[in-house]
Amino acid sequence: MPRPFKCRRVCGLPRAAYFKPAGIPVFALEQVNLTVDEFEAIRLADLEGLYQEEASKRMNISRQTFGNIIESAHKKIADAIVNAKVLKIEGGAVQMMQRYFLCPDCTNEWVIPYDTGGPVECPKCQGKNIREALQDHGWAGGGGPGKGRGMCRRGRI
Ligand SMILES: [Zn+2]
């Protein structure tokens, strides 16, 4: 019996999802896929300097799982750097920690990362009549923010 798969919580998607060695045509390069949960583990442990105990809590997973994720992430990044491979960040079963807003004036919908302050106006029409909708909705499975709300499954992002 496979254990039910648990979503890993992340605070945001990477700003860039594609890192390529300069000066080598892309068809001549191999590719390494880093998942978004591996990316988040790197961010928490290596950049923010959290202990694995604390970082695993933030991602809502066990310390053992966190250890496995970060080990795999380190290996992939090392492989990309040492062997000059493209590093692509995508996929993984994650639940985005983000907030979802909508503007009734122009029907604009948008999301912001959970750890930033709330918006004061609509980024499209500058209306102040904005409303916060679902908090902490997960999305996975493609389509981007606003699609597949509340779902969490292993696979594409
Ligand atoms: Zn608006």
User: Which residue segments constitute the domains of the chain, with CATH numbers given?
Assistant: 8-95 (1.10.10), 98-140 (2.20.28)
| Spacing, Cα 21 to ligand 1 middle (Å) | 40
| Spacing, Cα 133 to ligand 1 middle (Å) | 14
Whole-angstrom Cα distance, residue 32 to residue 77?
A: 8
pLDDT per residue over 131-151, tens digit each?
877 544 444 433 344 333 344
Whole-angstrom Cα distance, residue 138 to residue 147?
A: 10
Burial of residue 148, with CB atoms counted within 10 A of its CB: 0-12 exposed, 13-18 middle, 19 or more buried = middle
| Spacing, Cα 125 to ligand 1 middle (Å) | 4
**Closest by Cα among 96, 34, 18, 98 to 69:** 34
Say if pTM beats, i.e. exceeds, 0.85: no
3-state class of 137 per DSSP?
A: coil
Look at residue 22 and tell me whether its pLDDT is greater than 60.
yes
| Spacing, Cα 2 to ligand 1 middle (Å) | 46
Average pLDDT over residues 18-40: 91
User: Does 91 or 38 have the greater pLDDT score?
Assistant: 38
| Spacing, Cα 143 to ligand 1 middle (Å) | 22
